[in-house]
Amino acid sequence: MDLNHVAIFTRVVELESFTAAANDLGLPKSSVSRTVSRLEEELGVRLLQRTTRKLHLTDTGHAYYERARAALKGLEEAASAASNMSSEPRGVVRAAAPNDLGVLNLADIVLRFARKYPLVHVELSLSSRFVDLVAEGFDLAVRAGKLTDSTLVARKIGSDSLGLFASAGYLKQNGQQKTFGELARRECVLFRGKNGKADWKLHGPKGEESVTVRGPLSVDEMAFAQQAVAQGMGIGLLPVAGATLGARRLGSPSLIRILPEYSAGGAGLHVVSPPVRFQSAAVTVFRDFLIEELVRVWKSC
């Protein structure tokens, strides 16, 4: 039996689509479909029920998939164990990260890694969507925010708080911010605001205070919000570390913190990976290199 046929079948099941599996594997859809049909012929059973809208595993198909997936995983772990014995790390590492973490110099970190380990090929996917590491075949990911999957192995990089920031140009034109309540009368850049307004709750000298702010722009990506604040569109509630690093990269105080006695709890930053028994030397060295460099950058804030 050709193990490639089994691997293609499991990918079709995981992605619930011949088309999606074909795109993921870089194969024609017709080839993927024929491969699964050939596997069914070899086994003498029906594994999938095909409809115009969705694929459904038969009972036999479900049982076969579970055992096949475990067997393939065992082979991957065996290959990883063998790779770890190699004198120099080599192979492919698939990693994912939010596309608004540019301030952490991910490109610089990956480029320096590539120069140090030329036999390791890094496939880095930058996206604002949530990536399922196991289902999509990623070795690790950088995650910002609260971790919801307790099965992942996580290494914490640090925690960030939120603070109020404005550009030098905005403050020169509109004057310095003197009190927390004045935010209600200022133009603000809103992160995930609704109908042109948002409620900001921050901890200050008098405890927790809240204010309803308004502004001409609401976005769902923090990097975009930070850029808009730097361009003078209004006051923003931004991650302190991210804003500090962003200003440093621009080489000028483009983002100035205002009312520094006010802050809000922010998100944590982690490097996470699936719970596998064996990881290739390539994955191990990239993970450790990434964690070390991210911690160094974070501590420099």
- Sketch the domain layout of the chain as residue ranges: 3-84, 91-159+268-299, 160-265
3-84 to CATH, choices 1.10.443.10, 3.40.50.720, 3.40.710.10, 1.10.10.10: 1.10.10.10
Q: Calculate ∠ Cα 285-290-292, nearest 5°.
A: 95
Tokens of 91: 């192979």
Full-model pTM: 0.60
pLDDT interval class at 299 (50, 70, 90): confident
Q: Percentage of residues in the chain with pLDDT exceeding 70?
A: 90
Residue corresponding to tokens 């694929």: 55
Closest to 279 measured CA to CA, from 115, 144, 155, 153: 153
Same topology, domains 91-159+268-299 and 160-265? Answer is yes
Q: What is the pLDDT of residue 246?
A: 64
Write down the CATH number for the domain with range 91-159+268-299: 3.40.190.10
Domain 160-265 has CATH 3.40.190.290: yes
Q: Which residues contact 262 (CB under 8 A, 6 or more apart)?
A: 163, 164, 180, 202, 203, 204, 209
Left (φ > 0), alpha (ψ -120 to 50) or beta: where does 224 sit? Answer: alpha
Helix/strand/coil percentages in the chain, nearest 5: 45, 30, 30
pLDDT interval class at 287 (50, 70, 90): very high
